[in-house]
Structure 1
């Protein structure tokens, strides 16, 4: 009798786990995924867990269990996919931090990225590409733009100069944006239009880099770079009607969305949005032009008077659009040597003297009042861009000070945290802030950080994921696209291996490597927690949304850099097919 009762209870529990939710009605988009040698990785639990099959209906997962039980849901209209050996179905990736709207600006620019995502590895190549673009664009009233150059990976190991850009054209404005997004180089024509050739011109929170004689080198850093980009958008872009410009922007946004899908991402992020960027996503959403979910973070400086308006969408979706937090940028980038450090750079950047440590963007008390306004008055959470350890110190001090105004449902996030000292990691835990690290730095800029920027000790500790785990810190990882493409699988590979691009035998901080499963959690369930969406996303579980990615490989055991994305499903609908 006892055996029969135990069996009955076990059977009942199995049925409860695998039953569809109440009110089940089959829809035409119903899909069944079964395994035929392949895997369904759920991302549920502390160690890898798998199921044999799932059923998707009405955009949600309505069954997880065995192949035979799943096939009981099949009707003549149900689509069935047998996952073959070598393929893995898992939750769609979630973008913890990138710039999907900013990425659209790269489509009108000359691609100046070096390896591994481009081929511009010398200044001569860069200049030739700009000259080729000049010949193709005869409109002398518009600007020639380049994007993605990287002094750390140019053979010359320096920024192009104003004189070199003048070789392309001294009469046509030219601007090339650094891969970091924190700086760029202008030619003489653009510097004159900006008023930056005036020796008395300064920019608060930015730098117009000048030579020993006070003449601009062309390099513009932080807010000087931002000012140039704003001027370009307002005065130097091709003239179009309002409707033409909107339609072009919408098409580019959809193109970016498709690119995010191609990397397996179903929830996208714009991590520092101007009012125009927010309005673009809103418009696309209202017109039904979005298929992925877009989480947008208003940049505080350009939106401070609009935050009450944007709060309407805070933490709640209007179809595919929501506001996730308010973004503050406390410093620059380490690869561009504009991050704010406690100790000096190994080699000072152009225009700075030995001992240079970078600069904060904000005055301390000014930033305190801004952060208090957002967390206390508006009751909204913040994301703080802190790259250098001095900026991390500043961010942690301020969050500690603001604890009386921070509610339990606020998930405040430290973005990047690259130059994170060992003593800061326990402080991150105590403060309760959630870090989003960027381990791809180890791969792309590892030797640059070690030999030119930070020195070995600091470089070995960038993105300290293992120490984060050892301190029970929940973290995410990200791509910061367009700094890199939205290539989260390479970020996972970097977290697991920390090998450098320029010398694959070098492991940058071997004590900070983590397992593939922990790295995958950082782009699935942990990222869902960061956005307060863990009840509906981030793992394959009954009743969760059917945001899924089908991979041409095993992300726990194969080289993640080379695993292809075969298909992406958003709310159960196929949105990307790479068959």
Structure 2
């Protein structure tokens, strides 16, 4: 008889199984869950070497599933770039403050080396604008510079960076994105929705720097109880596999490859160590807070003095439909970024046409972010079996600006309308889109339950959902969305022993304190990968 290696007893076990069962104890054998039940029942399974961990009333859940992010970019940025975040996340409030942060990061860089920064937000700067290439030239006359906007969808380059990329007054408009120009046709340095025009010329990190970035990001994620994460734009898996083999990486990862621009789907599938590929990623618009989200009605406060400006689509609707059908007909999951409601209209058309031409039940095609989805669009999503992954942290981090600048009161109050999705029986996930916001599933749960902005104001309280519904969206429903519900997302016999232990029960805690619940331990495949400093559960063996 094979005895469990660990038994966790005297806890509150929120299983998130089909019935929503609550238990007291969990037994683990190898990488998988061996039993779930009462403390009395499971203690009878203990063998001479079984470790019995007394949870002392703490709460254990399935490990959190980050449904959309850009692992390990948060760690890579810490190694490579200056932090340019404004409140509530950082301290940058002006262009001069931004330049000072860059200078601190670049203090010891030799002439000619790249200076990079990430996270600036024009709406939070005193000047209410992007920095210009000429301001960056003056501050860094001997360095190429590239600053990424907090959305990750645009950035500003200085003259040296533009020269290295071959971008001049005479450069043609790119097929994707926009090179912003002044009235004389000179590039201002701002490049929207095609940062690769500049980033292609930034030297890659060394292998050791890359490994350090992965280590930092992994530690950040597991400290928040995350055990699985989706890389929403696929990356080279080899550095991840190397980091895993060096015990720098614990997370289980899915990498979604970017759809090829010639409309031939990337069909290379792999499973290497901790990472596997799945689906294909497309973009139909950009970022609402970057004025590149594609809306059906104009922005609340116009961009570039154009009162009719609505953003822009990445692809013509028929070209999008062609691309979607290529992925759909290959049997792959379609994963499409769409923030604005006009972009979502295009996506619904494209997926609808694909299903009309070649019906595929249970395709679980996804719309990423779905920030300004309308009620009629949710109806159509239900009809087509589309599952959204909501970036509901927008409510907290960007909700005040959406209300006051980008969307106005009526549209802003219903961003990420989770209650509307629940009422229709649409399964969905929640995500942080890290590094756009920090990895914190419990913060997502808090935002879903409370719908408070960073200023403390309610934004669309009628779209709140319950803690249980929100927790499903970062556990079992996120796993289901990625076709992993048979292995992950709930605490059931035979599933992977990916678990998180919390100091408090999020189902009974004060809703306003949900984001402050402490992660005590994170367990992946039965192995502890994180423990809060000082945590000391009573552990016994044999005889109990």
Deviates more, 1:322-331 or 1:64-73: 64-73
What residue number does 1:7 align with?
Answer: none
SS state of the match for residue 219, structure 1? strand
Q: TM-score, normalised by structure 2?
A: 0.92
Distance 2:53 2:90 in 1: 36
Q: Deviations over 1:212-237 (max 9, x none)?
A: 333322211002x222122224xxx5
Cα offset, 1:281, TM superposition:
3.2
Q: Distance in 1 between matches of 2:366 and 2:492?
A: 26
Say if 1:459 and 1:247 are closer, same or farther in 2 by CA, change over 3 A: same
Does structure 1 conserve the Cα–Cα contact (< 8 Å) formed by 2:9 and 2:52? yes
Alignment of 1:226 onto 2:226: no
Task: Verify the 8 A CA contact 1:114 1:120 in the aligned structure 2.
Answer: yes
Q: 2:127 maps to which residue?
A: 156
Structure richer in helix, relative to its length: 1
For 1:183, the equivalent position in structure 2 comes to: 154
Of 467, 474, 477, the match for 2:427: 474
Query: Which of 316, 324, 347 lines up with 2:301 in the alignment?
Result: 347
* Cα distance change on mapping 1:534 and 1:111 into 2, 3 Å: same
* Partner of residue 26, structure 1: 3
Q: Could you say if the C-alpha distance between residues 372 and 44 of structure 1 is closer, same or farther in structure 2, counting changes exceeding 3 Å?
A: same
* CA distance, structure 1, for counterparts of residue 41 and residue 289 of structure 2: 53
Q: Name the counterpart of 2:41.
A: 69
Show structure 1 runs of 4+ deviating over 4 A.
282-289, 302-306
Q: Which residue matches 1:430?
A: 383
What's the secondary structure of 1:469's corresponding residue?
helix
Instruction: Show the counterpart of 1:11.
Output: none
User: Shift in Å at residue 375 of structure 1?
Assistant: 1.6
Cα shift readout 1:445-481 (whole Å, capped 9, x = no counterpart): 1110011001111101110100001111111111111
Q: Deviations over 1:159-210 (max 9, x none)?
A: 2222222232123111111111001111122122223232443211111112
2:300 pairs with 1:327: no
Local SS of the residue matching 1:95: strand
Tell me the alpha carbon deviations over residues 116-158 of structure 1, each in whole angstroms, 9 at most, x when there is no partner.
3322232221111111222222x22220010111223333332
Residue of structure 2 aligned with 1:516, choices 467, 477, 481: 467
The reply to whether residue 544 of structure 1 matches residue 495 of structure 2 is yes
Aligned residue in 1 for 2:87: 115
For residues 18-74 of structure 1, the C-alpha deviation after alignment (integer angstroms, 9 at most, x for no partner) is xxxxxx5236xx111111xx422112246x531011111111111111112222233
Partner Cα separation in structure 2 for residue 489 and residue 303 of structure 1:
40
Q: 1:556-576: CA deviations, max 9, x gaps?
A: 224121112111100111011
1:83 paired with 2:55, answer yes
**SS of structure 2 residue aligned to 1:424:** helix
Cα distance in 2, alignment partners of residues 120 and 475 from structure 1? 34
TM-score normalised according to structure 1 size? 0.87
Aligned match of 1:134:
106
Q: SS at the partner of 2:371?
A: coil
- 1:492 lines up with 2:492 in the alignment: no
Report if the CA contact (8 A) 2:318-2:350 is conserved: no
- The answer (yes or no) to whether the contact 1:43–1:521 under 8 Å persists in 2 is yes
Match among 411, 418, 423 for residue 465 of structure 1? 418
The aligned counterpart of 1:9 is none
Query: Partners of 1:101 and 1:204 in 2: how far apart?
Result: 28
Residue deviations 1:242-274, cap 9 Å, x none? xxx234323322332221111111012110124
- Taking the aligned partners of 2:440 and 2:92, their CA distance within structure 1 comes to 19
1:453 maps to 406
**Aligned residue number for residue 568 of structure 1:** 522
Deviation at 1:361, TM superposition (A): 0.8
Whole-Å Cα distance in 2 between the matches of residues 282 and 531 of structure 1?
21
Shift of 1:93: 0.5
- Alignment check: 8 A CA contact 2:95 2:127 kept: yes
Q: Which residue of 2 aligns with 1:298?
A: 257
Pick closer, same or farther for the CA change 1:306–1:454 going to 2, 3 Å.
closer
* Partner Cα distance (2:56, 2:263) in 1: 52
Q: Alignment partner of 1:529: what SS? A: helix
Mapping of 1:258-297 within 5 angstroms? 258-274=219-235, 277-284=236-243, 290-297=249-256
- Asked if 2 retains the 8 angstrom alpha-carbon contact of 1:152 and 1:445, the reply is no
- Among 216, 231, 244, the residue aligned to 1:255: 216
Q: Any gaps of 5 or more consecutive residues in structure 1?
A: 1-23, 239-244
Match of 1:374 among 312, 322, 327: 327
SS of 2:72's partner is helix
Partner of 2:309 in structure 1? 356
